[in-house]
Amino acid sequence: MDRLDQILRRSRQLKSVDQCHLFDRTPAIFRDRVVAVDLYKLAGGTFRISEVILTETFHNPLGMDDYFLLSLLVNSGKENSLEVDQGTGHYQRPNQPGRMVLLQTQALEKCQGTGPLHTVMLTMKRTALEARLQDLSGSGAAALDPLLARSFYDDGLELMLKRLLAQHQRSLGAVDPDDTSEFLDGICLQLLSLTGHRHVRVAESDRLRPLAIQRVVDYIETHLGGELTRSQLATIAGVSECHFSRLFTQSVGVSVKQFVLRRRVEQAKSLLRQFASQELPLSQVAAQVGFCHKSRFCEEFRRQVGVSPEVYRSNS
């Protein structure tokens, strides 16, 4: 199967442009260039991950005046390079799978290339990107300027982008926000690394203070039935959201996600021992310990305990 056939086959597995509301008000001249698309909003819509197949590139068709776009080429039906100019000099991105460009919509003077082009794109609102970079490294988006003047390739960054997209495609966008946030942190740090920027990392010896750990654990224990976000827990611990996950893991020995899941299953075991099936159905047990779906609860319970919740309750 040649590259064109591969792209056309993949396009039939994605959505049509008419199914993506983001393009509702886009001029026809730009809509017609989108063959197929799969798009998911992240972090309240300030970031978006998408898989797109284009007949040719376009220059800022959605009026995104304050965005950065990280574009990863998956496949191309043409040999011609992408022509880019962002005010720092003209360069070409070879049409080779794995090649990436970082585009800033305000600075973009030229972005010209013919397809079909199969790409994965991470769209980042500048203010949100600035805040995340500042929190991670004390630097702003200007630290990424060296990447605006060239195309680049990085195995780690490609893997993170594809995993972030696949995670949302598998779950139809219903992904734990903390998982998404960790992916975005990793992508931002990898972009900084590609510029040679020395960002601040949490040392392996760093730990949360005992009182901070206790505050976080107490909060988790009393809120197992509700939503527990990294942002909430970081605030309670009194540390940066971007550093909280690693500090928690280094202090407690497991990730915050695994800690919460363990506590939820322990609470569920207590409820299953306490109530007969007719008094408290599994769907209610799941809801009381913070699982949105009974199936997800049963899957996690079996993973940790080794038996289903029904079997556990009948043997208790």
Identity of residue 183:
F
Q: What is the count of structural domains for the chain?
A: 3
Q: Are residues 214 and 189 in the same domain?
A: no
Beta bridge partners of 124: 47, 68
Does residue 21 lie within any of the structural domains?
A: yes
- Of 238, 253, 268, the last residue of a domain is 253
Give the residue carrying structure tokens 């799941």. 286
Q: Are residues 33 and 173 in the same domain?
A: yes
Does residue 203 lie within any of the structural domains?
A: no
Q: Are residues 117 and 248 in the same domain?
A: no
Does residue 204 lie within any of the structural domains?
A: no
CA distances from 14 to 36, 40, 101, 209, 278 (A): 6, 13, 23, 48, 44
Q: Are residues 89 and 219 in the same domain?
A: no
Contacts (Cβ under 8 Å, ≥6 apart) of 53: 7, 10, 11, 14, 34, 35, 36, 37, 115, 116, 117, 118, 119
Q: How confident is the model at residue 244, as a pLDDT?
A: 85
Q: Are residues 170 and 292 in the same domain?
A: no
- Of 149, 169, 195, the last residue of a domain is 195
Does residue 245 lie within any of the structural domains?
A: yes
Residue 245 host element (H or E): helix 241-252
CATH code of 104's domain: 2.60.120
Q: How confident is the model at residue 4, as a pLDDT?
A: 85
For 267, the token pair is: 């609470």
Q: Are residues 189 and 303 in the same domain?
A: no
Q: Are residues 55 and 135 in the same domain?
A: yes
Q: How confident is the model at residue 61, as a pLDDT?
A: 47
Q: Are residues 49 and 103 in the same domain?
A: yes
Q: Are residues 280 and 164 in the same domain?
A: no
Does residue 146 lie within any of the structural domains?
A: yes
**Where in the sequence is the domain holding 214, given as residue range(s)?**
210-253
Does residue 205 lie within any of the structural domains?
A: no
Does residue 181 lie within any of the structural domains?
A: yes
CATH code of 310's domain: 1.10.10.60
Q: Are residues 237 and 290 in the same domain?
A: no
Q: Are residues 30 and 143 in the same domain?
A: yes
Does residue 202 lie within any of the structural domains?
A: no
Q: Are residues 165 and 22 in the same domain?
A: yes
Q: How confident is the model at residue 69, as a pLDDT?
A: 93
> Tens of pLDDT along the chain (316 residues)?
688 889 889 999 988 877 777 766 666 777 788 889 999 988 788 899 999 999 888 765 455 568 999 999 999 988 889 999 988 889 999 989 999 999 998 888 888 888 899 999 999 999 999 888 887 777 778 888 899 999 999 998 999 999 999 989 887 656 777 778 888 988 988 898 888 765 555 555 577 888 889 899 999 999 999 988 888 898 898 887 777 888 888 888 888 888 999 999 999 999 998 887 667 889 999 999 999 889 999 999 999 999 999 999 988 7
Could you please report the per-residue DSSP string of 114-154? Answer: EEEEEEEEEEEEHHHHHHHHHHHHS--GGGGGGGGGS-B--
